[in-house]
Amino acid sequence: MNDHQLLRYSRHILLDDIGIDGQQRLLDAHALIIGAGGLGSPAALYLASSGIGRITLVDDDVVDLTNLQRQVMHTTERIGQPKVESGRAALLAINPEVEVIALRERVQGERLRELVRQATVVLDCSDNFATRHAVNRACVQEGKPLVSGAAIRFDGQLAVFDTRLPEAPCYACLFPEDSGFEDVACSTMGVVAPLVGTIGAMQALEAMKLVAGIGEPLAGRLLLLDGRAMEWSSLRLARNPSCPVCGGRHAE
């Protein structure tokens, strides 16, 4: 870490839980962010400003006027640009020392596994169950921690799925693929702008905790936010031993 970095990250370094060693772990880390929209915007911005050394943004969409109400990584001037390119510009404007890889793709299968394999931590900032299940499956297969967020209307949720821990559940333990859950799009149901900022910023915090080894990870818990009442609730999650995705992972 050079003198410029010591100054840039000095407020982190002052924290006993981070210090120079923890900041170096952040600099050495690679965060894979699936989705460069409402959740991905604040998550990516905070990870870049905090010094995560490499960030891969994955999204196949372009910036639209309707995005700008909540997707704070994008600007009016970048309407029509790929979200990942707009996001890359925003992240480098905050911290030009971060390596930002912009992938305009809808990744799946072996390609998704390859990207997860290269990452230190994965953030699911997508908006549909199919992608969430695909990302979860790849994280279980590659043994990578997953930080998952969701937001709709005034309601948000946050969870960490880290199946490196023997008793930790995966996303499919909580939402089985065959459970019949239906996607609810904010394009039809709406979402209040600061809600995605809150959940996305907390995804960044949980990712940093996992990378730097800070505090207690959220693995095994689901946080729910009622934005109308401004009330948080926390649920303990149990691993499903017969889960088709992670059930046999720790079997002898």
86 CB contacts (<8 Å, ≥6 apart)?
Answer: 36, 63, 73, 74, 75, 78
Rounded CA-CA distance 53/51 in Å is 6
- Separation of CA 140 from chain center: 15
Rounded CA-CA distance 191/161 in Å is 25
Rounded CA-CA distance 72/135 in Å is 24
The interaxial angle of helices 19-27 and 193-212, nearest 10 deg, is 110
Helix (H, G, I), strand (E, B) or coil at 113: helix
Considering only the C-alpha atoms of the chain, give the largest distance between any 2 of them, rounded to a whole number of Å: 56
Contact, 76 vs 32, CB < 8 A? no
Rounded CA-CA distance 155/196 in Å is 9
Catalytic residue, chosen from 125, 139, 173, 186, is: 186
Q: How many C-beta neighbours within 10 Å does residue 64 have?
A: 13
The DSSP code sequence of 7-59 is HHTHHHHTSTTTHHHHHHHHHT-EEEEE--STTHHHHHHHHHHHT-SEEEEE-
173 is catalytic: no
Catalytic positions are 186
